[in-house]
Amino acid sequence: MSFQVPESVKPIRAKVQQFIEERIYPVEHILEERGEEESGVTMRRLMNEAKDAGLWALGHPVEIGGQGMPFLDYVYVTEVIGRSEFAQVCLGTHSLQDSIMLNLHSSPEWRDKYLKPLVAGEIFPSFAMTEPDVASSDPTQLQTRAVLDGDDWVINGRKWFTTGANRAAYTTVMCRTEEDDVPAHAAFSMIVVPTSTPGYNIIREVPVMGMMGGHCEVAYDNVRVPKANLLGPRGQGFLISQQRLGPGRIFHCMRWLGQAQRAFDLMCERANSRVAFGSTLGEKQQIQAMIFETAAEIQSSRLLTLQAAHKMDEGDPARIDIGIIKVVGAKMLHNTIDRAIQVHGALGVTSDTPLERMYRHARFARIYDGPDEVHRSTVARLILREYSRGRGWDFGTR
């Protein structure tokens, strides 16, 4: 099993990297001003340029309008896509998980209506699980409820952190559709709700760490949608959500490695060029220690993530591996950017470098897609279960 970038992937990966460095880096400060007209226009221009350059929707299956790059190849490309937080949208990869979910589970009508424009980047998706009033790390507690009334679902509840709801064409809503006595893991379903539906009310865009990231609080007040908007069978919400999250976490972790690489480059260049007390920063042992720790963390996280990706490619759900990389990757990302800021001194906390923006995004990584603590306890429980069944957990064979 090799973890080097395959020769066949190198040209396209280099092309993606060049696009990001030459076209996206110079306008990141404009793209960051979400909601501003210039930001929207710039994003549209970049999306068109990516299409013209043949870099659009590389990992989406061909049958839904993508370029059908195999999973493992795409994993390596995702690593460079991670260098800029904006690259996912510029290159049309942001809709990958949602379009696959729609393709697999939606009614033919929804597939016809949404799938093509979604993959083409003409419309945006959003996903609503988290609620302000319950600890949503434990989604069995979700309160939003959908009741069948004739041929319609009627949805009531409140969600927040529905990222991108303010520009999305629709939200996939995770809600309880079954009676209270049905076991939680068979009681929730996913329902597609167009954001223009009466009763779908965006209460506010929640500011996070000084940014407006499109994280919306949404009230569902008697939202009525056709029965056919159900994704998959009733009560299968958790199953569908798991299918969405597994590969999604590999992609997150690879993108974090791309962010870390960018921060590491900046840190090392600064260490080699900045002089204090008669020598460069890089000649000082404490700075060398930071570079050592960072290199070790990046390399460990990279190998863990690629190993999990290889397992998944072979059909193994790799639950333990995925749980580990989510925690290790988020910590690595945070530590890397933190140290890069430190080496830059005051410059590191200004917006003259991308580091302070990257740092704020890195903080979120320890929370979204399951907080660290939940993954730690899941991994530990799964390993202990192997011991209780007499199988143990031999790292040499797993």
| Cβ nearer to ligand FAD, comparing 134 with 268 | 134
- Determine the interface stretch with ligand FAD among 11-19, 150-158, 159-167, 195-203 (rule: CB under 6 A): 159-167
- Binding ligand FAD (rule: CB under 6 A), the pick from 162, 172, 177, 335 is 162
The Cα–Cα gap between 13 and 5 comes to: 9
- Contact pattern from residue 100 through residue 139 relative to ligand FAD, giving x for each residue in contact according to CB under 6 A and a dash for the rest: ---------------------------xxxx----xxx--
The burial class, CB within 10 Å (0-12 / 13-18 / 19+), for 96 is buried
- Binding ligand FAD (rule: CB under 6 A), the pick from 60, 176, 215, 339 is 215
The Cα–Cα gap between 379 and 394 comes to: 15
> Is 367 among the residues that bind ligand FAD (CB under 6 A)?
yes
Residue 19 CB coordination number (10 Å):
21
| Cβ nearer to ligand FAD, comparing 23 with 357 | 357
Q: Is the dihedral of CA 64, 66, 70, 75 positive or negative?
A: negative
Look up residue 160 and give its two tokens: 């927040």
The Cα–Cα gap between 258 and 76 comes to: 10
| Torsion, Cα of 93, 372, 377, 304 (10° steps) | 60
- Contact pattern from residue 39 through residue 78 relative to ligand FAD, giving x for each residue in contact according to CB under 6 A and a dash for the rest: ----------------------------------------
Helix or strand (DSSP H, E) at 292: helix 285-313
- Determine the interface stretch with ligand FAD among 95-103, 107-115, 160-168, 265-273 (rule: CB under 6 A): 160-168
- The residue type of 57 is A
Please state whether beta strands 170-176 and 127-128 pair in parallel, antiparallel, or not at all (unpaired).
Answer: parallel
Please state whether beta strands 279-280 and 275-276 pair in parallel, antiparallel, or not at all (unpaired).
Answer: antiparallel
Of residues 233 through 262, those in contact with ligand FAD by CB under 6 A are none
Number of H helices, E strands in the chain: 13, 10
At its nearest, how many Å lie between ligand FAD and the CB of residue 366? 8
| Cβ nearer to ligand FAD, comparing 30 with 374 | 374
| Cβ nearer to ligand FAD, comparing 18 with 137 | 137
> Is 163 among the residues that bind ligand FAD (CB under 6 A)?
yes
Q: Is the dihedral of CA 162, 163, 169, 174 positive or negative?
A: negative
- Binding ligand FAD (rule: CB under 6 A), the pick from 161, 188, 220, 264 is 161
> Is 364 among the residues that bind ligand FAD (CB under 6 A)?
yes
How large is the C-alpha radius of gyration of the chain? Answer: 22
- Binding ligand FAD (rule: CB under 6 A), the pick from 25, 313, 368, 398 is 368
| Cβ nearer to ligand FAD, comparing 124 with 264 | 124
Q: Give the residue from 153, 179, 306, 162 showing the smallest Cα distance to 231.
A: 153
- Determine the interface stretch with ligand FAD among 22-30, 150-158, 217-225, 361-369 (rule: CB under 6 A): 361-369
Contacts with ligand FAD, residue ranges (CB under 6 A): 127-130, 135-137, 161-163, 215, 364, 367-368, 370-371, 373-374, 377
